[in-house]
Structures are given as structure tokens and as C-alpha cells.
Amino acid sequence: LKTPTGCPVSRKAAEFDPFEDAYQQDPPEYVRWSREQEPVFYSPKLRYWVVTRYDDIKAIFRDNLTFSPSIALEKITPTGEEANQVLASYNYAMNRTLVNEDEPAHMARRRVLMAPFTPEALKEHEPMVREAARAYVDRFIDDGRADLVDQMLWEVPLTIALHFLGVPEEDMDTLRQYSIAHTVNTWGRPKPEEQVAVAHAVGNFWQLAGKILEKMRRDPSGPGWMKYGIRKQAEHPDVVTDSYLHSMMMAGIVAAHETTANATANALKLLLQHPSAWREICDDPSLIPNAVEECLRHNGSVAAWRRLATKDVKVGGIDIPAGAKLLIVMSSANHDERHFEDPDLFDIRRDNSSDHLTFGYGAHQCMGKNLARMELQIFLEELTKRLPHMRLCEQKFTYVPNTSFRGPEHLWVEWDPAQNPERRDP
Ligand code: HEM
């Protein structure tokens, strides 16, 4: 086996397969060999160049002209004719949003659409986030046992995402099914027999996004980022295009929701696997903000992202040809000992936790990062206050096989309801 530049492919590089369970279970561990021995390698199975060290990945994020984000949302596994026809039958035309837009269009659009993400604007959502978190905990607090993903961590971020976007609440179970289909369609490797079902769900998601948009256009007044976008289109029709609005209506639901749902599930799993850290944040909630950053570093919800080389370039000393596709594994960068001391240690007091690359970096860095942080902090505040005595049940964690969006599908916890602080000290 040879790389497109004619070099031999190492055995480890030939074996690399991010759809294997070992990658899902622990991406930084799965590519430890690469961080140590071969930090830039060509994967013949994926036909991507894979980059795993912190400095290389940060440099790629920093230069979005050489490393275009245009492929960020394309199907990582090309689908067959039948699935493509299904998508076409729904007039599926997902195109550029922000995350996969090149300059100069991207920066013009990002600037016009930034205001709803300022700290002052986000503050207004805080009471709603806390209320939603409290209401969901109320439902199971006396049960002594819960699947936090099914009973809270999936739906609350979805509710908040819809509220942030200004989308009226839709059927939550349908949206969950559509979002997972979008993840599999974009970053997964569905088997030929699954591809058609995924294509139907993605096609339906696309049409639903169109319907929501049409309805919103009739009255774009009031709060919500998508309504704000429609109003901005009137002022800047070349910057905020129709194609952008339709694509973003679909991608935005996923970007604002699944990333955060997975991040909270990863964070709780990690904290409960480290009971002394959990006890510390229960005793001293002022530790929560840095604990959140450390959770995002150690076990973030976006494991890897993509860029396209627009010219011949060197990455980490390796020649990458123009047109090459890159998988940049941020979860590995976040465990790079060249940047983080004792990187596998989970340390909620680490002083550079927030250097993690889970939100990307540079021109495209996540616009919703402070909304996500707020949600994570509030969920942890509520759960540490109301269920400080919860612990993880014995369980095997499962993940949706894909390169990028990562969080356990279920998270079972248990506690003794007789010991609930609210019963002892109402
Ligand atoms: C972009 C991660 C939550 C909206 C991104 C990128 C990543 C990411 C990796 C690409 C960055 C790059 O290319 O440099 C995450 C994670 C989240 C999260 C891990 C939760 C823990 C959110 C939320 C929103 C959001 C809640 C709210 C709407 C966006 C947008 C972009 C983006 C609009 C595109 C920015 C641009 O290209 O200019 N996010 N995200 N994200 N995210 Fe997030």
C-alpha cells in the first residue's frame, strides 16, 4: 500500500478504521501510536490524511485558506445510487452554512449573524436553561435510577437549541431520529442496506427544515437566531442567501443540539468515573466552570473535524498534495503531552484545560461555545445540588459509529432517593 504521494503506508496506518468500536470508545487512546510515532499518516481505508498532534492541528485550523473547511459536512462515506436517488426525491440540497463556507463569504456572513451570541444576548437564555434542567430532574428525582441521556441530556439541549434558533417545538422523538440519521449520513459508514433508511430520514429532515423556514418567513419578528438571520437577509441578501438559510435550518438544529447533548453525557460519565472530582464540585460549585473545560478537553463531543488542502503543503514535515482531505483528530490533540502535562490525567484544576481544540480554533471556531458552556455549567450545578449521591451503574457504553460526533447513547445512574438533599433539608 502506498500514499497518493508514493510513500509506503505503515501497518498501523493501513489498519486505522474510525468506524471501529475501539475508536468510539476512546479516540485519543486509539491513535496514541500515531501521536507518538507517525503524527501525520495516510489512511487507505478512509482515503484521508489523519493528523493527531496539537500543534499541527492548531496550525491547520489557523490557516483556513490553505486548509478549506468546505468538506466539513460532506458524506465521509459515499453512498450508492439507490440512496442518492432517495435524497434527490426529497430535493435534498444541503450546501454551505458557516462551518463549511470559504472566505470571503464566510467572514462576511459570520459578522452579520454574530450578535445573538454575545455574552449579554446569551444571558437572557439562562433562566430558561435552568428551568428546563430543573423540570427534567423533577420527573425522575424520586426514582433512584435514570438513564440520564434518555431522560434529560438529549431533550433538554434540544429544547434549548430550538428556543435559541426560534423554532417552535417539534416532535422531539422525530428530531432525535433525524439528527442521528444526519450524523450517520455525514460522518458514518452506513451499510448499503442502511443507507436507504438514512437517506429517507435525512430527506425528511431537509423538508421539515424547509417548512419551518417558510413558516418563519411569514413572521420573522421576535427572538431566535434563525429569525434574526431572515431579518438580516433583507439588509444583506448576497451575504445571507436562501441556500444558507435552508441549509442552516437543518445543520443548526444538529450543531446546537447534538454536540451539547453529547458533551453533557461525556462530562457526567467522566465526572462519575472520578468520584473524588465529582465530590469536589458537589462541595464547591465554583470549581464547575474549569471542570467543564477539563471535561471538554479530556472527553469532548466533537472527536475530529475535516479540512481540504487547497495547495501542496507540508503538515508536520509530511508532504500533503493539493486536493487531499484531512481528518484532524482534536480529541487526540487534547491528549498531546507536548501541550498538556500528564494529558490522560483528569484534573479539574488544570490551568490550561481551556486550550482544548474541541470547539475548533480560528476563523471558524464554534460560535455557540459560550451557550454550550452555559448549558454544561447549569446542568452540573443542578445535578450536583440535587443528586450529589448519584453513581454510575454497571454498564457497557455504546456509541453511534462515526468519525466526529461522540457521546454515550445511554448513561445509567442510581442513587438512594431517601438520601435526596431535598428530602432531608427541604
Ligand atoms: C462550529 C463544536 C455547540 C454553533 C463548530 C466547530 C466545532 C464545534 C468543532 C467547527 C470549528 C472550526 O472549524 O474551527 C461544538 C461543540 C459544542 C458546540 C463541541 C458543544 C459542546 C454549539 C452550539 C451552537 C453551535 C450550542 C449554537 C448554535 C456553531 C456554529 C459554527 C460552529 C454556528 C460555525 C462557525 C463558523 O464556521 O464560523 N462547533 N459546537 N455550536 N458551531 Fe459549535
Beta bridge partners of 152: none
Ligand 1 and 185: CB distance under 6 A: no
Distance (angstroms) between ligand 1 centre and the Cα of 365 equals 7
Q: Give, as one character, the DSSP assignment of residue 97.
A: -
Ligand 1 and 209: CB distance under 6 A: no
d(CA 410, CA 399): 9
Summarised one tens digit per residue, pLDDT across range 347-392 is 999 999 999 999 999 999 999 999 999 999 999 999 999 999 999 9
- Mutate which of 101, 129, 259, 374 for ligand 1? The one with the most ligand atoms within 8 Å of its CB, which is 259
| Model confidence band, residue 176 (pLDDT cutoffs 50, 70, 90) | confident
Closest CA to ligand 1's atom 36? 364
Distance (angstroms) between ligand 1 centre and the Cα of 99 equals 8
d(CA 422, CA 385): 9
Summarised one tens digit per residue, pLDDT across range 248-295 is 999 999 999 999 999 999 999 999 999 999 999 999 999 999 999 999
Q: How much of the chain, in percent, has pLDDT values that exceed 90?
A: 93
Atom of ligand 1 nearest to the CA of 362: 14
Closest CA to 260 of 225, 219, 302: 302
| Model confidence band, residue 426 (pLDDT cutoffs 50, 70, 90) | low
d(CA 345, CA 294): 10
Closest CA to ligand 1's atom 14? 360
- Mutate which of 308, 366, 405 for ligand 1? The one with the most ligand atoms within 8 Å of its CB, which is 366
Mean pLDDT over residues 185-201, rounded?
A: 92
Report pLDDT for 192: 85
Distance (angstroms) between ligand 1 centre and the Cα of 251 equals 11
Distance (angstroms) between ligand 1 centre and the Cα of 252 equals 9
Question: Taking all residues of the chain, what is their mean pLDDT, rounded to a whole number?
Answer: 96
Ligand 1 and 224: CB distance under 6 A: no
| pLDDT over 70 at 28, yes or no | yes
Closest CA to ligand 1's atom 28? 256
Query: 79-83, 337-341, 420-424 — which is least confidently predicted?
Result: 420-424
Distance (angstroms) between ligand 1 centre and the Cα of 2 equals 35
Mean pLDDT over residues 203-207, rounded?
A: 95
Report pLDDT for 423: 81
| Model confidence band, residue 405 (pLDDT cutoffs 50, 70, 90) | very high
Ligand 1 and 112: CB distance under 6 A: no
Mean pLDDT over residues 140-161, rounded?
A: 96
State whether ipTM is beyond 0.90.
Answer: yes
Cβ contact 193:74 at 8 Å: no
- Mutate which of 63, 359, 361, 405 for ligand 1? The one with the most ligand atoms within 8 Å of its CB, which is 359
Mean pLDDT over residues 16-45, rounded?
A: 97
H or E element that contains 131: helix 126-140
| pLDDT over 70 at 425, yes or no | no
Would you say the C-alpha torsion 311, 314, 319, 324 has a positive or negative sign? negative
* 41 phi and psi angles, rounded to 5 deg: -140, 160
Q: What angle do CA 290, 291, 293 make, to 5 degrees?
A: 65
| pLDDT over 90 at 209, yes or no | yes
Ligand 1 and 366: CB distance under 6 A: yes
Mean pLDDT over residues 333-351, rounded?
A: 98
Q: How much of the chain, in percent, has pLDDT values that exceed 70?
A: 100
| Model confidence band, residue 335 (pLDDT cutoffs 50, 70, 90) | very high
| pLDDT over 80 at 247, yes or no | yes
pTM score over 0.90: yes
Atom of ligand 1 nearest to the CA of 165: 28
Mean pLDDT over residues 391-413, rounded?
A: 97
- Report the relative pairing of strands 40-43 and 325-328 from DSSP bridges: unpaired
Report pLDDT for 196: 94
Q: Which residue is it, cell 423533577? A: 138
| pLDDT over 90 at 175, yes or no | no
Would you say the C-alpha torsion 229, 405, 162, 133 has a positive or negative sign? negative
Ligand 1 and 79: CB distance under 6 A: no
Report pLDDT for 174: 86
Looking at residue 156, its amino acid is V
Distance (angstroms) between ligand 1 centre and the Cα of 118 equals 14
* 3-state percent breakdown (helix, strand, coil) of the chain, nearest 5: 55, 10, 35
Cβ contact 292:270 at 8 Å: no
Ligand 1 and 361: CB distance under 6 A: yes
Report pLDDT for 59: 98
Residue 14 cell numbers, joined: 493501513
Distance (angstroms) between ligand 1 centre and the Cα of 173 equals 23
Query: Sheet of 48-51: strands edge to edge?
Result: 40-43, 48-51, 325-328, 305-309, 67-68
Summarised one tens digit per residue, pLDDT across range 125-135 is 999 999 999 99
Beta bridge partners of 314: 319
Mean pLDDT over residues 387-414, rounded?
A: 97
